[in-house]
Copies of this chain bind each other. A is one copy, B any other.
């Protein structure tokens, strides 16, 4: 299989141009005789033809690929986003190249350099840092770049992210309808997205006149189950009992927090009100009242894609940022 145009031309006796016309469906346009077309088509039906993308890319300076750099492929949110982006890409015959940085700035830089060297036609980055990025990207190529999920600011690239402030605000409001107070356990605290969630939390506390909303917030640098365990451990020690209501900055932190309650207290009281960022169908399994925030992956992917092809269609950049609303999900309440 997988003959080249030149091989087909030699085998059938027609010129390369002629063969190319029938392959590209331009035989009508250039009035290729029906029999030559038939001959060529028959040959291809038997032996096959496979476009060589390397040669094509070399010539056209275009690879029909989009690069996507994510912190973690095993994170359900990024996996879903990758899936959504991939579908959009396929519609335009683009191949999505996804690479994980594993939250390592060095790997992130290498991934970006690699994708650029492979001539991606666009680049989507969910950055895990911002320090060394600008050098890499400055006056680089004419490749459209879109930042995603984390807004470290100052990088003047279009950025697409969820409305984390609104998410924090709405979730906290909903929880404070049920209980008079609420603790917030935060992993990956220095990340801009988390900062926004915290601001939403504080604003909702302020609305209810809850004094020093800030003292209800506990921070950890990592986003992990061990961070969750650690944060919950401190909270239980301070309160001398598990909290009546708490929310977490991510599913990982929630998992850790619940593990900690289980191991320290023995079981998880069904009356505890739980809140968490990022939704997961597994939350169905909890008997507790659960409030969660689901990011709109489809909308995010669409905005990212739109930003990517804006420059290709020669359009002006409108506003630099897209902020996508997220959705509150309630269980057992």
Interface residues of A, Cβ cutoff 8 Å to B: 1-2, 50-55, 57-58, 63, 72-74, 76, 79-80, 82-83, 86, 95-100, 113-114, 116-119, 139-141, 225, 251, 255, 258-259, 262, 267-268, 280-287
Contacts and interface: CB of A to CB of B under 8 A. Distances in A.
Given A52-B117, A73-B79, A74-B80, A287 B258 contact: no
A74 B258 CA distance: 24
A281 B267 contact: no
Q: Which 10 A-B pairs have the closest CB atoms?
A: A282-B282, A54-B57, A54-B58, A73-B83, A79-B79, A53-B118, A50-B117, A74-B83, A54-B54, A74-B80
A119 B58 CA distance: 14
Nearest to A286: B285
A80 B73 CA distance: 7
A73 B82 contact: yes
Contact of A58 (B55, B86, B99, B225): B55
A1 B141 contact: yes
Contacts of A55: 54, 58
A73 B86 contact: yes
Nearest to A82: B73
- Chain B CB within 10 Å — which of A113, A114, A258 has the most? A114
A235 to B, nearest CB: 18
Nearest to A140: B1
A95 B73 contact: no
A97 B100 contact: no
B284 A262 contact: yes
B284 A54 contact: no
12 contacts: A1-B141, A50-B116, A53-B117, A72-B83, A73-B86, A74-B83, A95-B118, A98-B98, A225-B281, A255-B282, A259-B284, A283-B285
